[in-house]
């Protein structure tokens, strides 16, 4: 079995001049895997061998991250809305021949997956989301404890170029500070994976991609979420949510309760981890994925 790191990296044209970087392997039903901040698709390397024995796995970098294209900022942040990011992934999977697929996603990628499931319900079979509550509920339910733990939610949305400049001054420090600042520190990460996160953090356009992603989540994405709730639109696909029992999301929010309010068919559980579930506790994540996706 070829390690995720060693597979060829494809850059696939998904339309409008946008290229999404992805690695593809395995046989069986298609499974799209999406990463979070400040990482890349490499987060799946510890569960990749088991998943590719059963599924055709597509591990992609979100626009603005990794080796995917990094569009310029827009005044309304629309180029980095979750609606646009979700369309990237629908187009990506279509280019690879998959009109319908399952989704496994973490953190920022899980927010893209949530929007994908709402906007393109006919394309998604099942969805498993790692360590998030719905974005709108997290902003509306912000407490001092949450704001202190997730300070980056509020710092990254400050007007340009302040956060971009600070990230760009020392992107490796930024990655290490953000990821190492959670329970478990940097010791939980494979050295090869960490080196890849650091390499990609130093790529031109990365600071803009990160900040615009978060600015969109605090503005345009919330408008889209409110519109869905006003119209009574919910996730229709079977959904499983996993979260870290020692992480900020699990400590500050009723994760399962909040998802049950916006999804028709959802279950889930806490795992003995903080935030980076696929790297901290790969065995239970793998077991859940194999049981849930079938």
Share of the chain above pLDDT 90, in %: 99
Other CB atoms within a 10 A radius of the CB of residue 223 amount to 11
From the list 107, 131, 221, 228, the catalytic residue is 107
Q: Is 107 a catalytic residue?
A: yes
Structure confidence at residue 190 as a pLDDT band (50, 70, 90): very high
Average pLDDT of the chain, as a whole number: 97
The phi and psi torsions of 282 (rounded to 5 degrees) equal: -65, -30
Task: With a cut of 80, say whether residue 197 has pLDDT above it.
Answer: yes
> Is residue 77 flagged as an active site residue?
no
Average pLDDT for 265-294:
98
- Please give the pLDDT value at position 294: 96
Q: Would you say residue 1 has pLDDT above 70?
A: no
Sign of CA dihedral 274, 280, 284, 290: positive
**pLDDT computed for residue 184 by the predictor:** 85
Asked if residue 286 lies in contact with residue 47, where contact means CB atoms within 8 angstroms, the answer is yes
pTM over 0.85: yes
Q: Give tens-digit pLDDT for 36-89.
A: 999 999 999 999 999 999 999 999 999 999 999 999 999 999 999 999 999 999
State percent of the chain over pLDDT 70.
100
Rounded alpha-carbon distances, angstroms, from residue 63 to 108, 149, 168, 214 = 11, 25, 18, 13
Q: Tell whether the model's pLDDT for residue 157 goes beyond 80.
A: yes
* Residues 200-222: tens digit of each pLDDT: 999 999 999 999 999 999 999 99
Residues paired with 21 in a beta bridge: 11
User: For residue 252, what pLDDT band results from cuts at 50, 70 and 90?
Assistant: very high
Q: Give the separation between CA 234 and CA 247, rounded to whole angstroms.
A: 26
């Amino acid at each position: 079995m070829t390690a995720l790191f060693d597979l060829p990296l494809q850059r696939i044209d998904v339309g409008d001049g946008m290229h999404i970087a992805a690695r593809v392997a395995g046989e069986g039903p298609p499974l799209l895997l999406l990463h979070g901040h400040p990482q890349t698709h490499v987060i799946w390397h510890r569960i990749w061998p088991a998943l590719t024995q059963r599924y055709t796995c597509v591990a992609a970098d979100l626009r603005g991250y990794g080796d995917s294209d990094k569009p310029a900022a827009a005044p309304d942040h629309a180029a980095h809305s979750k609606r646009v990011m979700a369309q990237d992934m629908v187009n990506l999977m279509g280019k690879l021949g998959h009109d319908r697929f399952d989704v496994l996603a973490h953190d920022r990628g899980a927010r893209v997956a949530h929007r994908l499931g709402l906007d393109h319900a006919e394309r998604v079979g099942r969805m498993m989301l790692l360590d998030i509550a719905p974005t709108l509920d997290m902003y509306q339910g912000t407490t001092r404890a949450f704001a202190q733990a997730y300070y980056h939610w509020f710092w990254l949305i400050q007007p340009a170029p302040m956060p971009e400049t600070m990230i760009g001054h020392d992107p490796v420090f930024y990655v290490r500070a953000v990821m190492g600042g959670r329970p478990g520190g940097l010791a939980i990460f494979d050295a090869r994976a960490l080196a890849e996160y650091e390499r990609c953090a130093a790529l031109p356009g990365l600071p803009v991609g990160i900040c615009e992603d978060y600015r969109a989540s605090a503005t345009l994405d919330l408008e889209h979420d409110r519109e869905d709730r006003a119209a009574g639109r919910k996730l229709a696909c079977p959904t499983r949510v996993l979260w870290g029992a020692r992480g900020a999301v699990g400590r500050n929010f009723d994760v399962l309760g909040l998802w049950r309010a916006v999804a028709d068919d959802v279950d889930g559980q806490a795992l003995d981890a903080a935030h980076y579930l696929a790297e901290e506790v790969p065995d239970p994540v793998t077991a859940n994925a194999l049981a849930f996706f079938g």
